[in-house]
Structures are given as structure tokens and as C-alpha cells.
Amino acid sequence: MSARMLARVGAHSHIKGLGLDEKGRAKFIGDGLVGQIKAREAAGLVVKLIKEGKMAGRAVLLAGPPGTGKTAIAIGIARELGSDVPFVQLSGSEIYSAEVKKTEVLMRALRKAIGVRFREIRRVLEGEIVEFEPHFVPHPFNPYQRVVQKAKLTLRTKDERVTYTVGPDVAEEMISRGVQKGMVVMIDKETGRVSVLGISEDAAKELGYDIGRIPRVPVPSGPVEKDREFVWTTTLDELDELFHKRKSGGGIFSLLFGGGEERKEIDPETRAQVDEWVKEQVEAGKAEILPGVLFIDEIHMLDIEAFSFLNRALESELAPIVIMASNRGLTKIRGTDIVSPHGMPLDLLDRLLIIPTYPYTAEETREILKIRAREEGIELDDEAIELLVRYGTEISLRYAVQLMAPAAERAKINGRTKVTKEDIEAVRERFASVEESIQHLKEWEEKFLK
């Protein structure tokens, strides 16, 4: 996840799900979400539809004024879908970049939102090293050097102990990884690849200290030789990049370190190849597709061209779930003179399930602010909370949430651990809400344009 993504999720880090019971009813407070009951229950039904594969070709629109939890609910949906289901956020205005075509930005976002999970079963040897004895012979051309020819390796689990003679490849890799008695290792039987899993708990106890950063792990149980399933998840976008780099001939080095030319656009043939390859993997039972969520905020910022691209994308076989958010009512579709609901073309509106969100009551605002304060480790006294509740309802919830951190900083400077009403008043005077800063700039523009 990029730094920017983290910062964005940061404001919503308290959200762990949709806070619904088994019947799909929203608790007043649940999973970090407060109130907005109907929208959360609607979102819960959307999660069910997604899980049952019944959302294909459809999309969701969260429609409501700023600060009513549209992004919060989209994140709640993502959390309910599970941790390795991709969730990608894009703001409508971000498609207008100087370097990349807007349809390419959208395409990338769509493909980032589709996960591919690979599974592979491999035969491995796994156990704690009881003995590792490399056998050296003189180098064939340089008698002053010695090379490893083979090694005797004894591995143990809780249930058995087996001795092997391993060839030079495995022996050399073991030596280069600095393996020693007491370490738990896993060796891929086919490739000979060695992975150090950690130091066994028994060995660490005997040593009386830990070895560097190597974690302590239990001695495995069962047989030494076994089948193990490996699972890893990637996205179509990552595969596009890999295929693209392989094609541009950078070799393994550029594959690993992303060297060489910065990719700007990926040609459609590469993407078609990736799709083809992924389908083969799925058919062979080696991979599974995980459609994730693409959340597009400020959807009215897309123009007619971007909308028709999106509309087509929703029809394709490999499409993620698209959740959009809008705080506009009737407005012009960008790039046209047509006025339409949420500034969206009708063919896209036809596909939508629309979830409205409403402004919060003082009680709901209070609970949300308390959850955020706890999340940020900020202590507020009662008067401070009440003042924030007022700003939250009168100005905006986001503004009230954002005042907390500077207020806490001011309290700290003044040697207090608890934020008081005074701190809140002080930061209220020093920071503007979005509405205020727009007003402020408008007044200046008027002065200059006279």
C-alpha cells in the first residue's frame, strides 16, 4: 500500500466492519461505526450479494452530504469482504493526470481491484536441525580451495527423526544461509530451496538467548516429509506490470528492482495475455480470482468519456465491484451540457443500487468523536467533547474530527494531558473548515477582480 493510501485509510482506521448482527441488523455502535443504520444495513445486503456473485454488472452509489460516512461505509464493506480482497480508492479528479490517459488511470484502478490467489501444493522436508555435517572435497581446479560435495542432514519433528544425504546445491544453500543446529527449516524437495522458519523453542531455551532477529517457532509435528500448501495473492495490475517488464526485455533484475524505464501505459495486448494466462491458471485449479472493490469518490468529477469507459468495464468478465460516492444532486455531466442526477449518464444510473446517507444527530456525532479520540489516543474533557459535537453538527463532522489532533498538541504544549474547551476554541480560531476557506478565497478574488 502506498503512503498516500495509508494516510487516507488513517482517518477511517477505527472501522472494522459494518457492525451488523446475524440477521443483518445494525447495532447503534458496532465495528467502529455509529448510527446511519439503514445505510449500513443496505451495505450489509450488498456484501451478501457480492459474496453470492450477484453483483455482476451492477454498481453501488453512496449518496449524501459531505461527512455523512460515505467513505466510512465503503471501507466497512471492504472489511466485511475479508483481508485479502483488494480495496482500491480513487477520487474522481485523480483521473486527470498529465502523464497518463484518463482511461488508463481507470483501467489500472479496475485491475488493481481484482485479486488473483494462487495455490500450490509442494513436497517439502520440514523439521528442526539435529545435525548438519557438510562434507568438503578439494576444488577440482584449485587445490587450495575446498568445495562442499554433500552433507549429512538430520531433521526432527515432535514425532520422528530422519537422516538424509543432501547434494551440493542444498548443502551450499544451507551454508550460505548460516543454518545451525536448533533451527527449523523447510526444504522444497523439487527445487532444493531452503527457508529458515526460525529457531526452535527448545533450542532457544537451551541456548538461553535468541539469535538476532530469527523468530522462535515450535518444533513441527507429524512426518518430516509432507505436502504443504502455499498461498499468495497478487492483482491483475501487478501481473500486467510483470508481463510488461518481461516483454520490454529488462530481464530478472528489472523484474525484481523495477529498474529501467518507468512504465506509463500498458498495451492492450499485454493485458489480454495476462487475462488469458490467469484463465488458464484458474482452469488448471492453480488460481482463483478474487473480485475486490474499486471505490470512486467524487464520481461527478468523471467526464462523459470516463463514464462510458467505466460502463463498458462493468460488463467485462473480469470486473471488480464498483462503489461510487457523490454529494451532488442534479448537475451537468462533465464534458457535456446534459444535466443529470449526480452528474452521471443514464446508462450508468440504470445499473446502480443507491444508498443514501443522512447528517448525524448530536448523539451520533458525540459517539463518532469519542471513537476517533480513542483511536488517536487523545483524551478530551466533557466540555471539549461537547464543543466538538457542536462544531461537528454545525460545521462538519470531518472538520470536528480534524480539530482533535492540533487541539491535543496545544494541550501538550501547555503541560496538560487532557484536551479542554479552551484548546478546542483556540484551534477553531486558527484552522478553517473547507467551507470557510472557500468563502475566504472568494472574498479575496472579488477584491482583486474589481
For the bound state, the minimum distance from the C-beta of residue 70 to ligand ADP, rounded and expressed in Å, comes to 3
Binding-site size for ligand ADP (CB under 6 A) equals 21
Which of 76, 107, 82 lies closest to 318 in space, CA to CA?
A: 107
70 binds ligand ADP (CB under 6 A): yes
Q: Which stretch binds ligand ADP (CB under 6 A): 64-72, 82-90, 183-191, 428-436?
A: 64-72
Q: Computed from CA positions of residues 223, 226, 229, 230, in that sequence, does the dihedral angle turn out positive or negative?
A: positive
Those residues with Cβ within 8 angstroms of residue 353's Cβ, 6 or more apart along the chain or in another chain:
42, 46, 58, 59, 60, 61
HSE-up of residue 8 (Cα within 13 Å, Cβ side): 16
71 binds Mg ion (CB under 5 A): yes
* C-alpha cell read off for 133: 555435517
Q: How many CB atoms lie within 10 A of CB 251?
A: 12
34 binds ligand ADP (CB under 6 A): yes
Those residues with Cβ within 8 angstroms of residue 419's Cβ, 6 or more apart along the chain or in another chain:
378, 379, 380, 381, 384, 404, 407, 408, 410, 411
36 binds Mg ion (CB under 5 A): no
36 binds ligand ADP (CB under 6 A): yes
Q: Are 47 and 81 in contact (CB under 8 A)?
A: yes
Q: Are 212 and 218 in contact (CB under 8 A)?
A: no
Our CB check for ligand ADP shows the closer of 7 and 252 to be 7
Of the candidate residues 35, 44, 134, 291, the single one contacting ligand ADP (CB under 6 A): 35
For the bound state, the minimum distance from the C-beta of residue 188 to ligand ADP, rounded and expressed in Å, comes to 44
Phi, psi torsion values for 145, nearest 5 degrees: -105, 150
69 binds ligand ADP (CB under 6 A): yes
For the bound state, the minimum distance from the C-beta of residue 293 to ligand ADP, rounded and expressed in Å, comes to 15
Our CB check for ligand ADP shows the closer of 211 and 371 to be 371
55 binds ligand ADP (CB under 6 A): no
For the bound state, the minimum distance from the C-beta of residue 199 to ligand ADP, rounded and expressed in Å, comes to 42
370 binds ligand ADP (CB under 6 A): no
Interaction partner, residue 235 (ligand ADP, Mg ion, none; CB < 5-8 Å by kind): none
- H helical segments located in 284-361: 304-315, 346-349
* C-alpha cell read off for 128: 528442526
Which of 396, 398, 400 lies closest to 385 in space, CA to CA?
A: 400
For the bound state, the minimum distance from the C-beta of residue 118 to Mg ion, rounded and expressed in Å, comes to 34
Residues at the interface with ligand ADP (CB under 6 A): 11-12, 32-36, 64, 66-72, 325, 368, 371, 397-398, 401
Residues at the interface with Mg ion (CB under 5 A): 70-71
